[in-house]
Structure 1
Amino acid sequence: MPREAFAESVARFLDEEFAERPVLASSLGRMEAAGELDDLSQAAFEGRAARVARWLDRLAKIPAEGLDRDDQVDRDLLLAELRGRAVETEWQSWRRTPDGYVGLGLAGVFTLFLHRLLPERELAAAAAARLRQVPRVLDEARHNLDPELCSGLLVKRAMAQCQAAITFAREVVPAEVSEEALGANLAAAGEAAASAYEGFMPFLEDLAARAAGSPALGEERYSRLLLSKELLPWDARQLRDRGRRQVDLIADRLAEEVDGPWRERVERLREQRPTTPEEMLRAYEAAARRAREFITRYRLVTLPEDEECSVEPAPIFQRVILAVASYSQPAPFGPSRRGRFFVPWPPLGASPSEVAQRLRASSFHRIPTTSVHEAYPGHHVHLVSARENARPLRAVVGTSFFSEGWALYAEQMMADQGFYLERVDELIGQLEARRFRALRIVLDTSLHIGDMEFEEAVEILVREAGYPEPTARAEVLRYCAAPTQAVSYLTGCLQIEALKEKFLATGQGELRDYHDRLIRLGRGLPMPLAERCLQPAEE
C-alpha cells in the first residue's frame, strides 16, 4: 500500500506542477498547455505557498518503511525540493525581483522554437498566444513588486533584459517560421509583446529609483537551503570556510605547475584570446570535438546513441544577463538527444571595447575546460544520459549541486586522465577555472550573509579571476539573483570526487562504471541521495 500511495502522490504532484507551470512543462516536452504562460498574480503565488505546505504534510504521512530504495530516494528528493521552496516562499522573491516576470515570456517562446516539438503551424500559434499574454504578466509585475523590498541592482539587471526582450519579440521571433502567413501573425503578436516591454521600461526606471531592498537572502535562510534542501552538513559560514581553504589549495597547485609567478603567467594567457566572436565560436567547436574524441577513445563514459551537441551563440535575450557559457538540454520528455552549448556572445549593440572585454573571458587556455564542462563529458553527457532513468520525478526535480558538481568534476577528471597533458597552458586554465569556483563559494556566501557589498565582490573578481569589469558585474548580479547556485559547482564536485573513491574502493566497478551509474540517476539528486543509490543492494 505505501508504494501505491507514493506512486499516486508523485503522479499527482507532477500533474499539478505542469498545470501550474506551463512554461516549465513545455521546456521538458509536455506540450498540453504550449500556448499558456504561468499565472504570476499575487493569488497564484499565495496558492503556490499553500501547495508547498500541503505537499510537505502529505509526504510526511507516507512512511519510508514499505517503500523500496528508489521510492525512498524519490520521497526524500521531493521533500528536499519542497523544503527549499518553503524558504523561497518565505523570502517572497516575487515581490522583490522583476527577472521572473520579464524572462517568462522570453523563455516560454524561446524554448518552443528551440525544441520544435509541434508542427510548425501549431508551434507558431502557441508562440503567438504566449506573446499576447506578455502584457498580462507585466501587469502582474506592476501589482506585485514592492519598492521597499526590491534591490535596485536587480531591477537594473531586469531593465537590460527587458531591452533585449523588445528586440527578441519584434525582430527574432517572426523569422522562426517558414510560412509567410505564420510569420505575419507572429510579427503582430511579437509587436504586442514588444510594445508591452517598452511600456514596462518606465515602470522599471521608477522602481529602480525607489528600490530600498537588499538582494541578500540572509544567513539563516541561506543555511536552511544548504541543510534542508541540499542535505549538506555545513551551514553558510562553514561552507565559506571550506571555500577559502580551496582557494588557497588550488593556488598552491597552480604554483607547482607554473615556472615562475603563476599570476603573471595567467595574466599573459588571458591576453591570448579570439579576436572576433566567430573565431571564438570555432575554437569552442574544435575543443568540444576534441573532448568527445578523448572520452570515446579512453572509454571514460558511455555515450547514449544519437546524442548530439551543437555549439551556438547565446540567445539574444540571454547575452545581457549571462556573461559565461551555458548549456540547454533536449526536452527530457521529447524525442531528441540534441543539446545546445551556448557560447558567451556579445550583446546586441555592444561597442568594440565591450566585445573585446567579452572575448577576454574566452581566452584560448580556458576554452578547452569550458567545453569539457558544458559538453563532453559535462552537462550534455549527463543530461542526455539521465533521460535513460525511467523515474519521471527525477527528470523534473533536481539540484545544481549535482549537475554543476558533475560538470566541474568532469574538468578535473579529464585533467587526471591526461586531456591537458600536452598543453600545459590548458591545464593552467583548468586549475584557474577550479579556483574561480572556490572564489564563488566565498563571494556568494558573503553576499547573502551580508558580510560583503556588491562592489567589493566585483573588485575581487576583477583582481582574482581576471574578469573585465562588465563581465564581473554580470557575474556578481547572478549571485545576487540566485542564492546558493554559485556555491554548487565546487561543493558538488568535491562530494562527487569523495564518492568516487568510495565506489572504487568497494570494488563495485571501474571509473567508467561509476560515471555511467552516477549520471543515469537523474537530473540531479542531492549528493547524500546519490550515494544511497550507489550503495551495494544488500546494504
Structure 2
Amino acid sequence: MPRGRSTRWCCGQSSRGVSQGRRIRSGSPSAPVICRGICSGYGAPVDEFLKWYFSDRPVVAASLGADGYDHTLGDFTASAWQAREREQVLWLDRLAAAEAPTLDDAIDRDLVLSQLRGSIALASWPEWRRDPSVYLGAVFASMYTPFQRRLKPEPELVASALSRLAEVPGVLAACRANLDPDLAAPLLVQRGLGQARTGRNFLTRTIPSMVEDEQLRAQLAAAAEPAAAAFDELVTFLEGFECGGTWRMGERLYSTLLRERELLGYGAAELHEKGKAAWAELDARMREVALQVNGTQDWRAAMEHLMDDHPPTLADMRAEYEAETLRARDFVRERDLVTFADGEECHVLPSAEYTRPVLSVAHYLAPPPLSSSRTGVFFVPYTPDDFTPEQVRQRLRTNSRAQMPSIAVHEAYPGHHWHLSYMAGNPRTVRKVFRTPYFTEGWALYVEKMLHEQGYFDTPATELAHLDCRIFRAARIVVDTALHCEDMSIEEAETFMATKASLSPGTAQGEVNRYCAWPTQAPSYLTGAIEIERIRESFQGTLKEFHDRIAGSGGLPLGLAEQATLA
C-alpha cells in the first residue's frame, strides 16, 4: 500500500480524558488516531508523530520492537518518498508550535525537531535516488534480524518472512526505477553491487539455515526463489548502470546537519580543526607510551609490532573477543561504574554474511528497545568468503590481542551493549526511537578512556592500543570533513588513514569507502566523547550517577543530553 494512503493509529484524548480513537489517512498530521501500544499515554503530538513515522517505515518500527509492522517492507516508490518529504514539513511546523509542559516533554519535542530538520535538509541530497543500499539494507535487515533475535515463535517468524519475501521484487524494482544516473555516484553503486551479489545466497541459504523446523525451512527456501531472482536482476542492472553523480556532500549541507540535526555549535570547518588538534595531542602522548613498547617514539612501528600478535583464525578471533567481553563486564561490575539492566546479555558472534562486503570493523546489534528483550549481539568482523589468505591475515592484524580490550569495551561493556540495554528502560518512548551516533558512538569512545582511567588497560601495549583507537577516531574527523568538503581525494584519504592510524592499506580502503557513503557519521565518535567528558566536568554526583543519568536519558544530541543530565 502506498505510504500516502496507509492507515495509521495513535492515541486520541477527549476533553474528559477518555480515549476517542479513529482511523485517519497517513499524511494528515493534525488528527489523533488509535494507539497500537507504542505511545507514552499522553496523546501528545510527539506520540502522534511516532505513529506516522512507524507506519511510514515498517522495517524500522519492527526492528525497534513495535508490534504489527513485521509483515511488510513498506512502499519504496518515488511517489512514497516524495509524500514523506512533504509530510515531514507539516510535522515540523506542527511540532515546533507545540507547547511542552515539562523539561522532559521539551527534550522529547526538540529531539523530534532535530530529526525532522535533518531529514528535511537531506531532501536536497536524496539518497533514495543516489544509493542502492537504501533498498538493500531494508531487505537484509528485515530478513536477518528477526531470526537473529528470535523474540517470537518460529512459525510466526517464518510467516512474517514469507510476507516480506513477496515484496522484495517490488522493492528492488523501485531501486532500479529510482536511481538517477545524474545523481548516483559510481562509488556508491559499486558498494551496493557488492551487497547485491550476496542476495541470492543470503535469501536461499543463509536465512533458511536459521530455521530449525525442516518443513518451515523448506517452505522458506522455496518462497525465496523469486526474491533471489530479483536480486540477480538487480546485479545485472547495477553492473551495467552508468552514472556520473558525486558522493561528496559539500560543506553547506554537512554544516547544516552538524548544527540542526546534531545540535552542535559549529560546522564542518571548525570540526575539521578540532580533529587536527586532537590528533596532534594524541600523537604526543603515543610517542611517550611507544618508548615503553619498543624503545622508540615511533608509535606506528610499535603498533605494527603489536599487531603481529593476533588470533590465528577468524574463529579464534571470535572466541578471544568473547573472553575479553566477559572480562570487561566483570571489571565494570566490580568497580560499580554503572547500573546493569535486569536480564541483559551480550552474545559475541561472527558478522552477518551480507555485512561483510561493506563493514570491516566490529559492530553491534542492540536489543529492540520497545520489547522486553535486553539481549544484544557484538558482531566480530569476519571477512567475505572471497578474501585471499593475505586479506584475512590483515583483518586479523587489525584485531590484535593488544587492541581487543578497547574494542570489547567499546562494543559491549560499558559501551554500546550496556548503554542500549540500559536506556531501553527509559519510559520516554521517543528516546528509544531516535538516537544519534554523536551520542551513542561518543559514549562508546568515552568509556574507553574512562576505563583507562580506572586501570583496565594496564600494560603499555594495551594503553598504546587504546590510544591508537582514539587517534584513529581523530583521523576520521579530519578525513571525513575533508572528503565531503572537497579538500581531499580518496587516494589521499586512504594514505592518511594508513599512516596517521594503524590501519592496513586494505582496512584503510574499506574505511574510506564507508566515509564516502555515510557523511558526518565518522566524526561522531571522538566529537561525542569530548562533549560527554565536558558535561561530566559540570555534573555534581558520583561517576556511576553520571553514567546512569546521561546514558539512561537516551542517545540524545549532545545539547539535549546536557540538559537532561544537568537539569
Number of the residue aligned with 1:526: 557
- For residues 349-373 of structure 1, the C-alpha deviation after alignment (integer angstroms, 9 at most, x for no partner) is 3221221122121111111100000
The CA deviation at 1:436 is: 0.3
Q: Letter of the aligned partner of 1:416 in structure 2?
A: E
User: Distance in 2 between the 1:21 and 1:348 partners?
Assistant: 32
Per mean C-alpha deviation after superposition, the further-off stretch among 399-408 and 475-484 is 475-484
Number of the residue aligned with 1:194: 228
1:171 paired to 2:208: no
1:314 paired to 2:351: yes
1:27 paired to 2:27: no
User: Distance in 2 between the 1:386 and 1:464 partners?
Assistant: 35
1:535 paired to 2:566: yes
Match of 2:451 among 393, 414, 417: 414
Match of 1:440 among 438, 453, 476: 476
Q: Letter of the aligned partner of 2:220 in structure 1?
A: L
User: Distance in 1 between the 2:87 and 2:531 partners?
Assistant: 32
Match runs of 1:277-426 below 5 Å: 277-421=314-458, 423-426=459-462
Match runs of 1:458-469 below 5 Å: 458-469=494-505
User: Distance in 1 between the 2:520 and 2:43 partners?
Assistant: 30
User: Distance in 1 between the 2:75 and 2:218 partners?
Assistant: 27
User: Distance in 1 between the 2:316 and 2:214 partners?
Assistant: 34
Q: May I ask how many residue pairs the two structures share in their alignment?
A: 525
Q: Secondary structure at the match of 1:133?
A: helix
Number of the residue aligned with 2:545: 513
User: Distance in 2 between the 1:480 and 1:263 partners?
Assistant: 25
User: Distance in 1 between the 2:67 and 2:227 partners?
Assistant: 22
Q: Secondary structure at the match of 1:340?
A: strand
In the alignment, is the contact (CA less than 8 A) between 1:314 and 1:345 conserved in 2? yes
User: Distance in 1 between the 2:422 and 2:338 partners?
Assistant: 10
In the alignment, is the contact (CA less than 8 A) between 2:472 and 2:502 conserved in 1? no
Q: Secondary structure at the match of 2:328?
A: helix
1:152 paired to 2:189: no
User: Distance in 2 between the 1:502 and 1:256 partners?
Assistant: 30
Specify which structure has the higher proportion of helix: 1
Q: Letter of the aligned partner of 2:480 in structure 1?
A: D
* Greater RCO, 1 or 2 (C-alpha within 8 Å, sep 6+): 1
- For residues 169-200 of structure 1, the C-alpha deviation after alignment (integer angstroms, 9 at most, x for no partner) is 11111122222221111101222222111111
Match runs of 1:119-134 below 5 Å: 119-134=153-168
CA RMSD of aligned residues (A): 1.5
Per mean C-alpha deviation after superposition, the further-off stretch among 153-162 and 7-16 is 7-16
Per mean C-alpha deviation after superposition, the further-off stretch among 262-271 and 381-390 is 262-271
In the alignment, is the contact (CA less than 8 A) between 2:498 and 2:508 conserved in 1? yes
In the alignment, is the contact (CA less than 8 A) between 1:369 and 1:429 conserved in 2? yes
User: Distance in 1 between the 2:478 and 2:337 partners?
Assistant: 32
| Regions of 4+ moved over 3 Å | 3-7
User: Distance in 1 between the 2:316 and 2:155 partners?
Assistant: 36
In the alignment, is the contact (CA less than 8 A) between 2:200 and 2:229 conserved in 1? yes
Q: Secondary structure at the match of 2:346?
A: strand
Per mean C-alpha deviation after superposition, the further-off stretch among 185-194 and 248-257 is 185-194
Which consecutive residues of structure 1, in runs of 5 or more, have no partner in the other structure?
Answer: none
The CA deviation at 1:7 is: 4.4
Number of the residue aligned with 2:95: 59
The CA deviation at 1:153 is: 0.8
User: Distance in 2 between the 1:35 and 1:59 partners?
Assistant: 30
- For residues 369-398 of structure 1, the C-alpha deviation after alignment (integer angstroms, 9 at most, x for no partner) is 000000000000000110111000011011
The CA deviation at 1:528 is: 1.1
- For residues 12-52 of structure 1, the C-alpha deviation after alignment (integer angstroms, 9 at most, x for no partner) is 11111111111111111113021100211100110110111
| Percent identity (aligned) | 42
Q: Letter of the aligned partner of 1:443 in structure 2?
A: V
In the alignment, is the contact (CA less than 8 A) between 2:300 and 2:501 conserved in 1? no
User: Distance in 2 between the 1:509 and 1:159 partners?
Assistant: 51
Number of the residue aligned with 1:218: 250
User: Distance in 1 between the 2:197 and 2:177 partners?
Assistant: 21
The CA deviation at 1:232 is: 0.5
User: Distance in 2 between the 1:274 and 1:448 partners?
Assistant: 36
